Amino acid sequence: MIAPGSQSIYDQNRYIWNRRVLQGAAHTRMASEHDFQRPLQVVDPRGWLGKSVHGRRVLCLAAGGGLQSVLLASAGAEVTVVDLSPAMLEQDRRLAASRGLPLRLIEGSMDDLSMLGDACFDVVIQPVSTCYVPDIVRVYKEVARVIVASGLYLSQHKQPTSLQASAQPGPQGYTINEGYYRHEPLPPVLGGHEHRESGAVEFLHRWEQLIGSLCRSGFVIEDLQEPNYADPMAAAGTFQHRSQFIPPYVAIKARRSPASPDTTLSLFIRS
């Protein structure tokens, strides 16, 4: 399942996400009529954004697909979407056009936001997606640059243990098969993995990279939650069964500190 003419991991992942749209695969769902009746609850079930996003400049990072963007726009936010997949962005465009919602759509990669100016967003929202880039620090640095001081960065990520562990239980249950300290991508998966995307090139980011690098990039973590998909009644090998033992995702609420890490350091040295 290699993309024709694929030169890089970005080409491959673009191809896979375009294909997932054609297949109507998981995580390509567009907002429904019901979602538009409670847009903020769908995008932000934890209430981290507060009661209103009206007039706030929001970057939906790697969040194409016609879900987060249109719902936030319908709640009054000024929304920009950056996503690698033209097919995912096309879903945003179509749904926004049908409802008369303004959206700015940009095809690009989360680790190079050079098309965006400094400090031009009040909020950055990033659904699970950092697994598709080798260097999460580049993403964090770019987000730190484009967000205003005290701006909110809400992100979700795949948990490292979930990426290390087998998809199906064996006699010993789910087992850790992949190394933790690694630079190379995870071996590609084919077929029915619900915690991985078949054919995509994915990277494991360690906890010190997910959390430590976020702090070192100029953010303060205000909350952290593990969305719970566990179901004790689920059949062995299903996503819900596996989630009883291994949480698939982590959600992080971070705020850009008013001073950049460099400024903080120089103030410290001077005092």
Ligand X SMILES: C[S@@+](CC[C@H](N)C(=O)[O-])C[C@H]1O[C@@H](n2cnc3c(N)ncnc32)[C@H](O)[C@@H]1O
Binding site for ligand X (CB under 6 A): 10, 13, 17, 27, 62-65, 67-68, 83-85, 88, 109-110, 127-129, 132-133
Q: Which is nearer to ligand X, 62 or 144 (CB)?
A: 62
Nearer to ligand X, 97 or 176 (CB): 97
CB of residue 262 to ligand X, shortest distance in Å: 26
Cα gap 27→68, rounded to integer Å: 11
CB of 180 to ligand X, least distance (A): 22
Amino acid at 104: R
Nearer to ligand X, 67 or 143 (CB): 67
Of the two residues 78 and 83, which places its CB atom closer to ligand X in the complex?
83
User: What is the Cα–Cα distance from 82 to 60, expressed in whole angstroms?
Assistant: 6
Q: How far is the CB of 232 from ligand X (least distance, A)?
A: 26
CB of 150 to ligand X, least distance (A): 25
Considering the complex, state which of residue 120 and residue 257 has its C-beta at the smaller distance from ligand X. 120
Q: How many CA atoms lie within 13 A of 101 on its CB side?
A: 26
| Least distance from ligand X to the Cβ atom of residue 197, Å | 8
